[in-house]
Amino acid sequence: MTAFSNADAPTWPAAFAERYRAAGHWRGETFGGVLSERAAAHPDRVAVVDPAGVRREWTYAELDERASRLAAGFAARGISPGDRVVVQLPNVAEFIEVVFALFRVGALPVYALPAHRETEIAYFCSFTEAVAYVVPDRHAGFDHLALASKVKERTPSLEHVFVVGPPGEHTALSDVPCAPGGTGHTPEPHDLAFLQLSGGTTGVPKLIPRTHDDYIYSLRGSNEICGVDGDTRFLVVLPAAHNFPMSSPGWLGALYAGGTVVLCPGPDPATAFPLVERERVTMTGLVPPLALVWTEAGTGTEHDLSSLDLVLVGGAKYSEAAARRLEPALGCRLMQVFGMAEGLVNYTRLDDDHETVVTTQGRPISGDDEVRVVDDADEDVPEGGFGHLLTRGPYTVRGYWRAPEHNAKAFTEDGFYRTGDIVRRTSTGHLIVEGRAKDQINRGGEKVAPEEIENIVLGHPSVHDVSVVGVADAFLGERTLAYVILREGAEALRPAAIKRHVRERGVAAYKIPDLVEFVEAFPQTGIGKVSKKGLRSDAVPGHAAPAQH
């Protein structure tokens, strides 16, 4: 056992771990080992295609070699087993190289999104005491070098900034690799492999500790369900750091199966459709708003999408009406996926009848996924009834990283994760997501924690109080609305002033309130607390209340 397991991250009790091993779920594989095996089995197969700019492709042998050389280089620069490294890269081949190099070292990637800005990145770096931060030089018009300089100044633990591209005052990633000579350490299958970000319901995002054993099991299960094999060509449309495109079945699933990962530089059909045609893409995953855009664009497109066999849609509720339109428009099969970075992933199945595929969000990967649907007193509800979804199983974590107080609330005493989702379970075990009990806004698959934004808005000198809620939106599912009470005597503000304040604090653009309303007072509940439910049903005309409970 290495130093970074139990103390920081609650793990499975021994009896459960034994059961999952005995069942063949946890097979003692590690990511670094899997890549070596695939490279030995089929060195010349293409592992990664990065079509941006000058098209690059790496075979399994090349990816393996690159990851080993980079791992050796990281180790030579003092990056050690258990160290945290914040990785903030767009969908570029180096993302995969860096992550496998860190897996080989036994250092933990902390997956930031390209959209994250100074507030989030500084928090990830300081909370995890990261020793390194990996960035592009620029992306989507944003200067990541400047951000990295600011974060480095603020974070004493941060020794290295590695840059994909011209490095400025930092270190070029391309200068790091050296002769592979082993890193002197072999990660164990039960070790942590990385820290994934949670959608979050609290003021700061929580980090999710995933092990090689548990995550690889979810890949293997996902691959089986989705039919991923060596012929699969998986297009990574969503940001590669998200759990969904990473593992459901995602780019890691495709690599596990010996297939090919095609990295998509942007999610719009104008970027993606030509790639589907040129790279003969067979599979991809989309959030519902993107699935709508692809469905619109698919009808009558001049691009040949005939290679596309399966499109997974998840991350937020996909409406039945939209689900019915996808297959004819894109000429492929649809699978719904309802997952969470904490673990549990549900899929509709390839042999489910059409109605099940368009009306449910699927059933769990594993027979050992324990699912409970309970009332407010944690009592099971009768089959088909609405309730809170609780889950525990071979790839659902037992707690967040370094968050004992939060864990006591987010998990039951016997280790079930409180997902915060309200579901119904059909007689076939399929789940239908009916709403949400957690204080979180699902903005087209991107999760926003109201508390995080409220804390920032409260920092505005004219603001007395604020409450951020979700309001229904035909395209995104939900948008964010900030109700703001100004201080007595404060001059009237425009909504734009609040939005600018949030933006200037340096957070991901998707967290900036879409709408701002100035009010005199918030609706109260019986016990005098602000009622978020009241705020939603009071939402300004034209904003219907979303499906929440």
Which listed residue (164, 340, 358, 449) binds ligand OOB by CB under 6 A?
340
What minimum distance in Å lies between the beta carbon of 199 and ligand OOB?
A: 4
Strands (E) in 218-332, as ranges, are 233-236, 260-263, 283-286, 310-314
CB of 132 or CB of 312, closer to ligand OOB: 312
Widest CA span in the chain:
72
Strands (E) in 291-332, as ranges, are 310-314
CB of 132 or CB of 330, closer to ligand OOB: 330
How crowded is residue 53: how many other Cβ atoms within 10 Å of its Cβ? 8
Which listed residue (210, 424, 447, 505) binds ligand OOB by CB under 6 A?
447
Residue (of 424, 441, 442) closest to 433 by Cα position: 424
| Calpha distance 330→296 (Å, rounded) | 9
Which helix (H) or strand (E) segment is 269 a member of? helix 269-279
Residue that is written with structure tokens 């201080």 in the block: 487
Cα separations in angstroms, 93 against 50, 219, 233, 263 = 6, 20, 15, 7
| Calpha distance 476→242 (Å, rounded) | 18
Give the list of residues 6+ apart from residue 209 with CB closer than 8 angstroms, or none. Answer: 8, 9, 192, 195, 397, 399, 400, 401
Q: Does 452 bind ligand OOB (CB under 6 A)?
A: no
Dihedral angle computed from the Cα positions of residues 532, 537, 540 and 542, in that order, rounded to the nearest 10 degrees? 130
Q: Does 419 bind ligand OOB (CB under 6 A)?
A: yes
CB of 68 or CB of 336, closer to ligand OOB: 336
Tell me the site size for ligand OOB, rule CB under 6 A.
22
Which listed residue (131, 261, 345, 469) binds ligand OOB by CB under 6 A?
345
Which helix (H) or strand (E) segment is 165 a member of? none
CB of 101 or CB of 341, closer to ligand OOB: 341
Q: Does 358 bind ligand OOB (CB under 6 A)?
A: no
Which listed residue (109, 314, 393, 450) binds ligand OOB by CB under 6 A?
314
Residue that is written with structure tokens 């590690």 in the block: 30
Q: Does 361 bind ligand OOB (CB under 6 A)?
A: yes
CB of 447 or CB of 543, closer to ligand OOB: 447
CB of 386 or CB of 518, closer to ligand OOB: 386
Q: Which of residues 213-272 bind ligand OOB (CB under 6 A)?
A: 243-244, 248
Q: Which of residues 503-542 bind ligand OOB (CB under 6 A)?
A: none
374: left (phi over 0), alpha (psi -120 to 50) or beta: beta
CB-closest chain residue to ligand OOB:
339
What minimum distance in Å lies between the beta carbon of 402 and ligand OOB?
A: 18
Q: Does 473 bind ligand OOB (CB under 6 A)?
A: no
Which listed residue (60, 123, 338, 522) binds ligand OOB by CB under 6 A?
338
Cα 537 to chain centroid, rounded = 30
What minimum distance in Å lies between the beta carbon of 100 and ligand OOB?
A: 21
Which listed residue (49, 193, 276, 316) binds ligand OOB by CB under 6 A?
316
Enter the tokens of residue 299: 């009808």
Q: Does 315 bind ligand OOB (CB under 6 A)?
A: yes
What minimum distance in Å lies between the beta carbon of 350 and ligand OOB?
A: 17
CB of 109 or CB of 167, closer to ligand OOB: 109
What minimum distance in Å lies between the beta carbon of 168 and ligand OOB?
A: 32
Dihedral angle computed from the Cα positions of residues 99, 270, 358 and 368, in that order, rounded to the nearest 10 degrees? -10
Q: Does 199 bind ligand OOB (CB under 6 A)?
A: yes
- In the complex, the residues that contact ligand OOB under the rule CB under 6 A are 199, 243-244, 248, 314-317, 336-341, 345, 361, 419, 421, 433, 436, 442, 447
